Structure 1
C-alpha cells in the first residue's frame, strides 16, 4: 500500500471534549504504532480530510513522523474553511496542519453547502488511495460508518486494504504505556 486514508471518530463521539484530554495521547500512540509499521513496509502518502478528532490527531502524529520517516501528508477537506466554526484552539491546530501538509486542496472551492460534499470527499479519498485505516467500533457506529459503507461498496469491485483500529487496540496501548511507567512496577 502506497497511499492510505486515515479516518475515525469526531472527539465528542469518543467522549473527548478537549484537545489536550489525556485520552488523546492513547489514540495518537496507537495510530503512531500502526503507521510506523506501514511506513516501514512502503507507505508513502497518508491522506485525510482534517476533520476534528481522529483525523486531526493523526495529522499531528504524521507531522511528527515526518522528522524520522519519508512520509507525506495530504489534507483534502470537503470544502473551504471547514474549520471556521470550530473552537479557537482547534482552528489553530488545523491551520498549522494544513501549513505543514505536503498537499492541501479542498474538494469544493466554496463554503459548506450540504451533506453531498462529505460524500464526495469520501468517494474521492477512497478512489485516490490503496486502502484506509479507520478507528472504529462496530458497537458504536457514529460518523465513520458513512465512510465505511462507501468502502464496503467500493470493495465489491476493487481491491482495497481496510485496517481497523479498535477499542481493544486502544486498551492495549493504555496497558503498554502504563507498564512503561517506572511507578507501575514500584507499587
Structure 2
C-alpha cells in the first residue's frame, strides 16, 4: 500500500469544541497506531481533504511520525478552493499551520464552494487515488463520514481496496491502553 486516504468525524460530531480536548490525544493515538502498521507495509503518502477534526489530527500525527519516518508524506487535497473561508480564526490558523507543513496541496475543483457535488467528487477522487482508507467512523453513529464510507464499500466490491475503521470500541481500547501505560504497573 502506497497511498492512504484518512477521514472521519468533524470535531462537533464528537462533542469536541477545543482542539486541546483530552479525547484528541486518544484519537491521535489510535491514528498513530494504525499508521505505524501501514508504514511497516510501505505506506508513502497520507491523503486528507483538510477538514476539521480527524483529518487535521491525522495530519499532526503524520508530522510527528515524519521525525522517524521522513519518507512519509502528507497531501492535502481540498474539495474546493478556500474551504476555510467561513471558519473561525482559531480553526483557520490551525488549518494554515497544517498546509504550511504539507508536502503537496491541491484542490479537486479549482473554484470556491458551489454545491454538494464538490464533496461527492472529492470522495470519489479519494477512493480512486488511494490504495486504502483509514476512517474514524462507527456505523452506530452516522455523520459526515457516512458518504465516503459507503462509496468506499461500493468501490471495494470491484477493486482491491482496503478499508480500516477506528470505531468507538477501538477508541475505548486505546484509552484503556494509554491509561495502563500511565499507571504504575
For the pair 1:128 / 2:122, whether they are aligned, the reply is no
Gaps of at least 5 residues in structure 1 are none
CA distance in 2, matches of 1:131, 1:177: 26
The equivalent residue for 2:151 is 150
CA distance in 1, matches of 2:176, 2:39: 24
More off after superposition, 89-98 vs 51-60: 89-98
Q: TM-score, normalised by structure 2?
A: 0.96
CA distance in 2, matches of 1:156, 1:53: 28
Offset, 1:110: 1.2
The equivalent residue for 1:185 is 184
**Large movers: runs of 4+ above 4 Å:** none
The equivalent residue for 2:84 is 83
Offset, 1:7: 0.5
Q: TM-score, normalised by structure 1?
A: 0.95
What SS does structure 2 have at the residue aligned with 1:46? Answer: strand
CA distance in 2, matches of 1:42, 1:185: 35
CA distance in 1, matches of 2:169, 2:54: 16
- The Cα RMSD (Å) is 1.1
Offset, 1:87: 2.0
Gaps of at least 5 residues in structure 2 are none
Alignment of 1:86-105 (within 5 A): 86-105=87-106
The equivalent residue for 1:43 is 43
What is the number of residues matched between the two proteins? 184
CA distance in 1, matches of 2:164, 2:153: 13
CA distance in 2, matches of 1:73, 1:35: 12
Offset, 1:146: 0.3
